[in-house]
């Protein structure tokens, strides 16, 4: 029987977190014989290859690893698409942990909604996070809540289930996109093909950056990556919405919801946290060559 679901794991230098992510896949309540796990190791220099090799040997024919020199996220995602045997692809990043029924809920949702091309799960609340990580997660908690169709919001790949037919109709991932943004580009083309994008009721957890420096570095990198997206499709990048003054107003409206969801006073720092990220993003965007 061909696998119903392909789990796509693209990783580079993920030795510290990869084990937890893969174990959360293996421990799913979804039938094991209907899962295929495809790893793409995009030029890791740490112990990631050994960790993947151990999992592949334990899982046998259900798993395989494709090793490449560093080619970037667009190429890694597309390699998964080209090697997927399932009806769906569930994207799992190495900094994620799935709830036990995550894949079951995602597949159930997609089976019941044949016009949906992408379903994004919701972020769970981790009570043990420090200030930096907690604020980052609050932002995502608010943005991805409620089982609802989204016509403009970008979902990202982590925690998403893709209908293989939809991503193939859209032409797959752009292999030329090496940094962040390969997911936004693919989502845009999937929408253009008439597929719907939804937030579902499946829950997963994501391990966030725990220092201000690491958060700054992440968003600086994201800003650099978006320059390529802007050059490819100006309509995808609305800089006005990302300006720090606008961001403050948007974040102020989120504070009551964040506090209601988490019951943490940290929520009142969300506007400052968001401005910090956006300044890093803009500096990265401006520095990146056009």
Q: CA–CA separation, 250 vs 93, rounded Å? A: 28
pLDDT for position 249: 75
pLDDT tens for each residue of 234-245:
565 665 566 666
pLDDT for position 31: 92
pLDDT for position 241: 60
Check if the beta carbon of residue 150 is closer than 8 Å to that of residue 59. Answer: no
Question: C-alpha 211: how far from its chain's center?
Answer: 20
154's CB contacts (< 8 A; 6+ apart) are 183, 184, 187
Q: Which helix (H) or strand (E) holds 43?
A: none
Question: Per CATH, which fold does 5-127+144-208 belong to?
Answer: Spore Coat Polysaccharide Biosynthesis Protein SpsA; Chain A (3.90.550)
Q: Buried b vs exposed e over 21-58: b needs ≥16 C-beta within 10 Å?
A: bbebbeebebeeebbbbbbbbbebeeebbebbeebbee
Q: Where in the chain is the domain with CATH 3.90.550.10?
A: 5-127+144-208
* Low-confidence stretches of the chain (pLDDT beneath 70): 1-3, 230-247, 289-290
Q: CA–CA separation, 8 vs 79, rounded Å? A: 9
Per-residue tokens: 134: 């907690």
Q: CA–CA separation, 176 vs 161, rounded Å? A: 23
Label the pairing between strands 35-42 and 196-206. Answer: unpaired
Q: CA–CA separation, 106 vs 227, rounded Å? A: 32
Per-residue tokens: 49: 């290859």
Nearest to 204 by CA among 162, 172, 161, 235: 161
**Global pTM?**
0.89
pLDDT for position 172: 97
């Amino acid at each position: 029987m061909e696998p119903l679901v392909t789990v796509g794991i693209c990783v580079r230098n993920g030795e510290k977190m990869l084990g937890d992510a893969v174990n959360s896949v293996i421990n799913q309540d979804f039938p094991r014989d209907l899962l295929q796990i495809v790893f793409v190791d995009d030029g890791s220099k740490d112990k990631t290859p050994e960790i993947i090799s151990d999992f592949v040997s334990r899982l046998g024919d259900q798993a395989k690893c494709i090793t490449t020199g560093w080619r970037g996220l667009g190429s890694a995602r597309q390699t998964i698409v080209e090697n997927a045997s399932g009806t769906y692809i569930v994207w799992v990043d190495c900094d994620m942990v799935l709830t036990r029924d995550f894949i079951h809920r995602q597949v159930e949702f997609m089976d019941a909604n044949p016009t949906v091309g992408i379903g994004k799960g919701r972020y769970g609340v981790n009570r043990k996070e420090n200030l930096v990580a907690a604020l980052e997660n609050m932002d995502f908690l608010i943005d991805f809540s409620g089982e609802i169709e989204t016509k403009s919001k970008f979902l990202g790949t982590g925690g998403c289930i893709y209908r293989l037919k939809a991503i193939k109709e859209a032409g797959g991932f752009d292999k030329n996109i090496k940094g962040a943004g390969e997911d936004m580009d693919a989502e845009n083309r999937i929408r253009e093909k008439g597929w719907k994008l939804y937030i579902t009721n499946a829950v997963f957890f994501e391990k966030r950056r725990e220092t201000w420096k690491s958060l700054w570095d992440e968003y600086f990198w994201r800003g650099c990556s978006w320059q390529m997206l802007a050059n490819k499709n100006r309509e995808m990048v609305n800089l006005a919405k990302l300006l720090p003054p606008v961001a403050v107003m948007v974040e102020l409206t989120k504070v009551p919801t964040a506090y209601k969801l988490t019951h943490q006073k940290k929520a009142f720092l969300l506007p400052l946290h968001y401005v910090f990220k956006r300044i890093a993003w803009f500096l990265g965007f401006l520095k990146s060559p056009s």
